Amino acid sequence: MSSNKFSGAVQLADLDDYIAPSQECIKPIEVAKSGKVKLIQYDSDTKEPYQLTEEKKANITLNDCLACSGCVTSAETVLISQQSLEEVYKALQNGDKKLYAVSIAPQSVASLAVKFGLSVEKTFRKLTTIFKKLGFNIIMDTSLGRELSLIESAKEFVMRYKLRQQQQQRQDYQQQQDGATNSHTAPTGLPMLASACPGWVCYAEKTLTESILSLICTVKSAQQLMAVIIKVYIAKKLGLHPSMIYHLAVAPCYDKKLEASRKEFQMGADDVTGVDCVISTVELLEAIEREGTSFLDILEDYSCNYWQSDITNLWSNELSESDGYLAFIARYAAKELLDVSVKELDFKVLKNADMQEVIIDKNNNNNNNNNNNNNRDNDKQTPALKFATAYGFRNIQNVVQKLKRKLNKNNNNNNINNNNNNINNKRMVMERGGYDYDFVEIMACPSGKEMKQL
């Protein structure tokens, strides 16, 4: 496993990124001595021999790295010990689980489809054959988890937006009573920052303050929602304890190994792990090659995927075509908040292709022209919605720095005269928690792409 498969947030190698991680782990470890004599040396000063005993190798788990505040890196050797293909084979050989389930990210299927020149459907059916041969009982894709994550994220955004409006109304009333704006020491919940990228979240938790962390969406990722579906919903349907189910996740992003190892994703009083192991698309390809049969020659499994159909039908009223987080939330919010239906989003490139914005107003304008700012100023009851993408850590750093500067500016502006210009200027900063966007889709990888070329 090469370290360059990880995002800049968790790489120990390639230290030329825009983030400078600590190169020395600060976690104190007591290394037990094995008692074995490794070497006998002679001290030239005392003329006495002395023994050098062999020390056991220090072992730092992935959870240790996540709990440590010393750096934002996680060496690949840590991941290999807990999240690897070998661990999958060991679990299958043990056979101590009642059910073995695998959830496969659509991006991983798409990468394999491109490599072998097949359709996504054929590729998934061949993968089903492979996983059944290995001993898995349930094979699902994570598209359902992704759609649920999109829906819940959109609902959270609308809730935050409405709470901000209510707070702004209270502030406006207080300004009329006091003749001055109140100090504003914390963000009101916007801009909401995407939480689907574990590399970005890991970096944020280790380096940013609570005032910015509170802006991160609280909805679980598709991978963790699939864990709930498999180890709660399916477990209950089959009368199984969650601990009796082994859940393997196939993901395009190596950082998903970090996500699966987080203690907060353990479930129930028994702290059952939601995702027992994560392998990457590259590791899945390795498993395919181990079978010794050409992938093109593997038969397709046409059997009905009962659980996928059953669960999809359960949420059929809420599910829709999948978009990225920004696109889905923008359309959902436009309908819920502005009663506007938006089909096509017009992205405006800012400093680079990985930093773009979309603006939607009451008149269904999302063409990023100057009229949007005028509409927002003239119609305070239905302001424009502003969305942005920030892919790669250079752009993430830019977003974070702007948030910090404007939050500090908010905290320092405690004595502003009560005139329309000052109030309006103050409102434009306060409305979005110190940053002039309502939602920012943040991904650690440049271009925000998870699909890897194999």
State pLDDT tens for residues 140-155.
999 889 989 999 999 9
Looking at residue 136, its amino acid is: F
CA 184 to chain centre: 29
Q: Report whether pLDDT(312) > 60.
A: yes
Q: Report whether pLDDT(87) > 50.
A: yes
pLDDT band at 433 (very low <50, low <70, confident <90, very high): very low
Summarize the confidence of residues 102-126 as an average pLDDT: 94
Q: Report whether pLDDT(105) > 80.
A: yes
Provide long-range contacts, Cβ within 8 A and 24+ apart, for 239-246: 240/98, 240/99, 241/270, 242/267, 242/268, 242/270, 242/272, 243/270, 243/272, 244/97, 244/98, 244/99, 245/97, 245/98, 245/99, 245/100, 245/101, 246/91, 246/97, 246/99, 246/100, 246/101, 246/276
**Structure tokens given for 37:** 């004599």
Summarize the confidence of residues 92-107 as an average pLDDT: 94
pLDDT, the chain, mean: 76
Summarize the confidence of residues 429-450 as an average pLDDT: 72
Q: Report whether pLDDT(81) > 80.
A: no
Summarize the confidence of residues 200-218 as an average pLDDT: 90
Domains, the chain: 62-145+221-310 (3.40.50.1780)
Measure Cα distances from 298 to 104, 167, 288, 315 in Å: 18, 59, 10, 33
- Which of 13-17, 175-179, 263-267, 417-421 has the least mean pLDDT? 13-17
Percent of the chain clearing pLDDT 70 (strictly above): 63
pLDDT band at 255 (very low <50, low <70, confident <90, very high): confident
Q: Report whether pLDDT(329) > 60.
A: yes
**Structure tokens given for 182:** 């109140």
Q: Report whether pLDDT(326) > 50.
A: yes
Contacts of 267 (CB under 8 A, 6+ apart): 227, 228, 231, 232, 242, 273, 274
pLDDT band at 451 (very low <50, low <70, confident <90, very high): low
Summarize the confidence of residues 357-386 as an average pLDDT: 65
Do residues 393 and 17 make contact, with C-beta atoms less than 8 angstroms apart? yes
Number of H helices, E strands in the chain: 17, 13
**Of 71 and 138, more confident:** 138
- Which of 293-297, 310-314, 349-353 has the least mean pLDDT? 310-314
Indicate the helix (H) or strand (E) that contains 34: strand 33-42
Going by the DSSP 8-state scheme, the letter that residue 295 receives in this structure is: G
Summarize the confidence of residues 19-48 as an average pLDDT: 53
Question: How many other C-beta atoms lie within 10 A of the C-beta of residue 372?
Answer: 20
CA distance linking residue 372 with residue 283, whole number of Å: 47
